[in-house]
Chain A
Amino acid sequence: MSFQLALELLPPTLADGLILGLLYATIALGYTMVYGVLGLINFAHSEIFMVGAVVAVELLTYVLAGSSLHPVAQLVLAMIVAAAVSAALAGLAERIAYRPLRRSNAPKLAPLITAIGISLFLQDAVRFVESLFGQFIRPFPSMPFFDIPLPLTPNDSVPMKSLVILIVAGAMLAGLRYTVNQTRLGKAIRAVATDRMAASLMGIDVNRIVMLTFLIGGALAGVAGTLYALQFGRVDPFSGFIPGLKAFTAAVLGGIGSIPGAMVGGIVLGLIEMLIGTFVPILTNNAIGTEYKDIFAFGILILILIFKPTGLLGRPSTEKV
């Protein structure tokens, strides 16, 4: 591979990798928040994300399409509604499927199974609702504003939507960090995350804090879903699974439970996928194709975890004796 080719390919690859990584990161935030507080992998998060994406697309297609609002305003409105629906769903999942298990002192894996149950249910429930109105694979409505090219290098450009994703994802991280680090609610969340029992002794209503964590995580998933639909232009009831899996990987890569870790993990994963997908086929003269990118991505994940067993930004776990 010539140096020239690499130079030419690198900027768009990095730009696309960053956007993909930001999308993973926004989903990963929800995983990591719930994990931080409860030590629970919320496997239903990918479906909560999917519902957000579906709601946003339906809203933009059927309600907002005819309006004279600016495309950005339409998108923001869709995001708010999607966030509300996803948050409500996440709260419902906590109330119905997780809280009763905490109360009954169930084994650690029990919530995993109820989460899978919720996932299966949500996929087919959304499919049912969607198929009442036609096909369940829904295209994102055509919004030319988000495709306006912005110059990146003299040869390359990125569409407007990339900028939108960058700004929204950045705002999500900043907002979340502020909430967790600077507000009373954040203090309570951190207290519950550190020691649930002690927190409740200090007068914190643990169930309320857990519920709020789920609501925040759900709302983030709704926004992430909207961004995902905007970027890829298509949603269906099963489109949550793969991004969810990748985001979960990203959360672990960054150090699960850590908010900046989720962001870093997402971006690293996105970049790795994109770089490998582009350069490995070139380097191996097509013997190893793009289809191997997941193998490399997981391979790198394993390598990183061997050397940093708690992820890139995870706190080293203290061994209690």
Chain B
Amino acid sequence: MAPGFPKRSVWLIAYTLAVTLLCVFVFTGNGLIDTAAFLALLVPLFIASDFDKCDPRVGMPVFAFVLLCALPIIGMRNTFYLDVAIQVGIFAVLALGLNIVVGFAGLLDLGFIAFFAVGAYLWAIVSSPHGAALLGVGFPLQGDAFFVVAVAAVFVAAGTGALLGLPVLRLKGDYLAIVTLGFGEVIRVLANNLDKPVNITNGPQGIAAIAQPLTEVAGALATTTAPAFKWQALIYYAVVLTLVLVAVLANRRLDSSSIGRSWLAIREDEIAAQAMGIPLVRTKLIAFATGAAFAGTMGVLFAAKQTFVSPESFDFNQSIGVLAMIVLGGLGSIRGVMMGAGLVTILNLQVLKSLSAGLNHLRATGFEIFGWSFANLPTQFEPSKYERLIFGLILIAMMLYRPRGLVPAQRRPISAKNAGRVS
């Protein structure tokens, strides 16, 4: 904000550099302290992305430094951090997609993960031996066809979204919610059942040996200290980062475009919006299809990264999980939903895991506190069994503490230029 170079920026830069050095050279493991250090490294991302409080001229370089320099280095040392970053990225884009549907247009979608599944199965079928048996000559596709299919998935998923949306978007509020929930379940059940009469999805057995993109690049870069799989993870990281960037830009543009204003109008008052000449069904369909497109692309990436898909990755809990991310983060707020995605994913994959591993270690070594030994902890208290319970409590606490989300959406004033062409 202020011209010149305020003291806070100096602190931010110093802090970022210091934590990066600590993460790269000292806390390289997976323990509690390492996790804490890693989280500390993410704090600058949070601060630097708040352009109201942080000068973009300082924030942007800090932001870029953490994402493009610090994280890859840490990730190449310990690929777990890359995997976490990739998963955060996948869920961030999913959250951004759902944010369009729920946050912008106000349509409650409880089956969002279905479109993720469509993308995942699309790539799984065209690039695996299983799919080759089904599709015949020319298949499976090479791993590098990934990029083509990822683009194709945008249209396939958007088409599916439009197809599913068409009959049901007349429904209001919670009726729409249950129907989308139904669609989500239908897609999962179809994936689980379509091994008979025609074997398309291989049913509950799932599809294995899915091709990965750019394996030859990873192979060429491989050295003894940095084997190919680490480079492969870095490639995925780069792809995810690009997709997140695209998704954020798309979200921003949509938010301030005329269609974004139409969504807002529908969300706030459907009847008034209709009276102003906004075509309800078409506007809602676009929201549905756009959200689905985000999810479909990430599905392709997910399938490639996992090299295996099965229906259990796409159940109702996953839809609910993405919804939790955007509500926790702040409905309609781009920065918020991304934070929500990061928070939920890191909490689940990293913080709670290392917490229970740490407790377990205390038990294994018979650590004593006030004369009471952790070794006495009965097996029913096995910490890793209560990760979901703790997660549930955190959800409640965060919602009560910040009911509008971590970063509530702000109504920006509409510029005169755009105000005229709402529909």
Contacts and interface: CB of A to CB of B under 8 A. Distances in A.
**Do A and B come into direct contact in the complex, CB within 8 Å?**
yes
Interface of A: 35, 39, 41, 96-97, 100-101, 104-107, 109-110, 112-114, 116-125, 127-128, 131-132, 245, 248-249, 252, 256, 287-289, 291-292, 294-295, 298-299, 301-302, 305-306, 309-311, 317, 319-321
Given A109-B102, A319-B271, A116 B393 contact: no
Contacts of A119: 392
A183 to B, nearest CB: 27
Given A120-B391, A287-B197, A100 B400 contact: yes
Interface stretch (B28-36, B78-86, B173-181): B173-181
Given A121-B389, A121-B392, A125-B389, A114 B175 contact: no
A291 B189 contact: yes
Given A120-B389, A295-B189, A298-B186, A252 B327 contact: no
Which of the listed residues B178, B271, B316 has the most CB atoms from chain A within 10 Å of its own CB? B178
Interface stretch (B164-172, B231-239, B281-289, B293-301): B164-172
A317 B404 CA distance: 28
Given A114-B395, A309-B172, A294 B388 contact: no
Interface in B365-423: 380, 385-386, 388-389, 391-396, 399-400, 403-405
8 contacts: A97-B399, A106-B404, A127-B385, A252-B178, A298-B182, A302-B183, A305-B168, A305-B175
Main secondary structure of the interface of B (DSSP, over half): helix
Contact of B323 (A109, A114, A127, A249): A109
Contact of A112 (B179, B327, B388): B327
Nearest to B164: A302
B395 A113 contact: yes
B7 interface: no
B222 interface: no
B392 A124 contact: yes
B324 interface: yes
Given A41-B174, A123-B388, A317-B172, A110 B327 contact: yes
A101 B400 contact: yes
Interface in B160-211: 167-168, 170-172, 174-175, 177-179, 181-183, 185-186, 189-190, 192-193, 196-197
Interface string B83-117: 00000000000000000001000001000000000
Given A101-B403, A298-B182, A311-B175, 5 more contacts: A107-B405, A109-B108, A116-B320, A116-B324, A302-B167
A304 to B, nearest CB: 10
A130 B177 CA distance: 34
A107 B327 contact: yes
B380 A131 contact: yes
B154 interface: no
Given A295-B186, A301-B179, A305-B179, A120 B168 contact: no
Interface of B: 102, 108, 167-168, 170-172, 174-175, 177-179, 181-183, 185-186, 189-190, 192-193, 196-197, 271, 316, 320, 323-324, 327-328, 331, 380, 385-386, 388-389, 391-396, 399-400, 403-405
A114 B399 contact: yes
Contacts of A248: 178
Contact of A306 (B170, B324, B388, B404): B170
B395 A117 contact: yes
Given A109-B108, A109-B323, A113-B324, A104 B403 contact: yes
B335 to A, nearest CB: 17
Nearest to B187: A295
B392 A120 contact: yes
Which of A107, A123, A245, A292 counts the most chain B CB atoms within 10 A? A107
A306 B389 contact: no
Given A125-B389, A245-B316, A291-B189, A114 B404 contact: no
A121 B205 CA distance: 31
Contacts of A309: 170-172, 175
A119 B317 CA distance: 11
A172 B182 CA distance: 28
B356 to A, nearest CB: 13
Given A124-B388, A125-B389, A117 B399 contact: yes
B389 A124 contact: yes
Given A104-B403, A109-B331, A245-B316, A301 B178 contact: yes
- Nearest first, the 4 A-B pairs at minimum CB distance are A120-B392, A106-B403, A117-B395, A298-B182
Contacts of B404: 106-107, 110
